[in-house]
Each structure stands twice: as structure tokens, then as C-alpha cells.
Amino acid sequence: MKKCDILVPIFTPFKKDQTVDYEALKKLVRYVLDKGADGLYTTGSSAETFLLTEEERMKTLEVAAKEANGATVVAHVGTPGTALAVMYAKHAKSMGVDAVASVPPFYYSHGHKAIKKYYTDIADACGLKIMIYNIPGATGVDMSVDQINDLLSDDRIYSIKYTAADYYVLNRIAVASKKPIYSGKDEAFASALMAGATGAIGTTMNIYPQAFVQIKAAFDKKDIASAQKLQTKLNNIIQPMIESGATIQAMKYVSKLAGIDCGEARKPFKNLTAEDKKKLEQAVRDNAF
């Protein structure tokens, strides 16, 4: 795969009746690529993928991959079980994606050997490289440094998305493996780069991909002060998103403020209050990119 630092975990836009808005999805893909993103990460948490039907999940990938027009596409195929993940991975390959990604199998408890087999079974079934994903806050599976490095030692696994707060662990992964490490913590991208991350996959990129491009460029030039300043500016917008208690809903609202209407998050995400919206509007006004 070509070098790819900024992958946008693309939203799934919805219409007022909560059906998928595929035309809005096309516009969003064009928007983030025009703003400097290297490619797309489809059908992940930011896409509300576990609130989609199988048909919707596959069609959103199809639409996004086609609209990407040659840009890098990594398709998230994670599910609690191997069979369905393999089905999604084979479908992703038929769409010409560059790689597939997956959270570890969740809900049921599995040991490391079973998790590794899950990943290698997907790789063997579809013939694509795998991005593993450590997001313990969502899956309840917190892989250790040794477990992650064991997975990354397999040639079928080419990278990791790391969405956890322990940057000592991230650094130990970076030291042991030269494979790409994507930070999933939007609010700490600059810190992740200092710990050894090579890129990012973050929900806020749907609105401000250019912010991540700028942070990475500043870091690459060893201009740490500028990277931190940009991160702080981004975090001034992220803070009221988190405080709303419905982060994806808040991000979609800010997306609308930026002129990219992706509708509202799918139920059962709660609605924003008038006060939530007021705080978001003020943050956007005060921290323009």
C-alpha cells in the first residue's frame, strides 16, 4: 500500500426519516478528499456501522469506494463472529479496497489465540492485508503490548488503529514494530505522533480533515509548537462535543454548521439540547480552520 497518513472514518449520512442518504455520502467523500485527506476508512464506529443493516453496510462501502476514485480505502469489517466478518471482507475485496480493518471479536470473551485466529481467518479468506484495531472502551477487549506486537509480527497484518489513552503502550508498539500506527484519539493526535503514531483515523476528520493534515505537517517539520497550537484549537471544538454526551450527534451538528449536512445520528442516540447546540456554535465561531 502507498503511504497514507490521514484516513477519514467516513460518516453515514441519514435523511430525516433515518434512511441512508447516499447522495450526501458522495458529497462528504469528495469534501474530505478535497480538503487533503489521503483516503477513507469506511463502515467503522463513525459510520454507526452497528446500527446499519447488512445491506446498508455493504452499500455504503460500495458508494464510498466508487466515489473515492482511486484514493486509498480501508474497509472496517468487524463483527462479533468470524463468518460475518469474512463475508464483509470478501465483499470489500470485490469493491477494490486496499485493505480491511477489524476490531477484535467482541461481546463474548476470547483469549489471544482466538483473537489472532479471527484476524488471520479474515486475511486468508479475502486475500487482503489487515489493520487490527485496539479500542477497549468500545469492545471491552484491551490487548496488551505483547499481544499487539505478536499480531503485528504476522505478514498478513499491516497496521494498527490505536484508540486508547495509554501512550506508553503506543510507544512500545512503535519501538517494536515499524508498521503504520493510526491514532484514533482526535483530541490527542499531536501527542500520539510524539509517542510514535504515524497517522490518524478520527471522526472529527469528517469536518476538519485539514486540521489533521496541518498537525501532521507541522510535526514532520519538527514544529511542535505549531502542532500543539493546532491541536488545542481543534480540542476547543471537541470539548463541547464530548460534554454533550452524544459525540457523534454533536459532530454531525458541527458538520452541518460547516456546510456538510449529514443529518442526525441514528436512534437510539439522544438529541442535542439547545444549550449543547449553543456551545458548539460558539466553539466553531471561535476556532475556525
Catalytic annotation on 133?
A: yes
**Cell reading at 65:** 469506494
The active-site residue, picked from 116, 161, 185, 252, is 161
The active-site residue, picked from 133, 162, 182, 208, is 133
| pLDDT of residue 3 exceeding 80 | no
pLDDT at 142: 83
Arithmetic mean of pLDDT, 144-169: 95
Are 99 and 1 in contact by the 8 Å Cβ rule? The answer is yes
CB-side exposure of 105: number of CA atoms within 13 Å? 22
Arithmetic mean of pLDDT, 203-211: 97
- Rounded distance, CA 80 to CA 215, Å? 35
Arithmetic mean of pLDDT, 172-195: 96
What does the DSSP 8-state code read for residue 99? E
Neighbours of 16 (CB within 10 A): 8
Arithmetic mean of pLDDT, 24-42: 98
Residue carrying C-alpha cell 489533521: 212
Confidence class for position 140, pLDDT limits 50, 70, 90: confident
| pLDDT of residue 2 exceeding 80 | no
Are 108 and 80 in contact by the 8 Å Cβ rule? The answer is yes
Q: What percent of the chain has pLDDT over 90?
A: 93
pLDDT at 289: 83
Arithmetic mean of pLDDT, 272-286: 97
Domain ranges of the chain: 7-221
CATH class assigned to 7-221? alpha beta
Catalytic annotation on 253?
A: no
Confidence class for position 233, pLDDT limits 50, 70, 90: very high
Arithmetic mean of pLDDT, 5-20: 98
The mean predicted confidence, pLDDT, of the chain is 96
- Rounded distance, CA 14 to CA 142, Å? 32
Its pTM stands at: 0.94
pLDDT at 139: 84
The better pLDDT of the pair 4, 281 is held by 281
pLDDT at 102: 97
Arithmetic mean of pLDDT, 159-173: 94
45-69 confidence digits (pLDDT tens): 999 999 999 999 999 999 999 999 9
Arithmetic mean of pLDDT, 186-199: 97
69-104 confidence digits (pLDDT tens): 999 999 999 999 999 999 999 999 999 999 999 999
| pLDDT of residue 280 exceeding 90 | yes
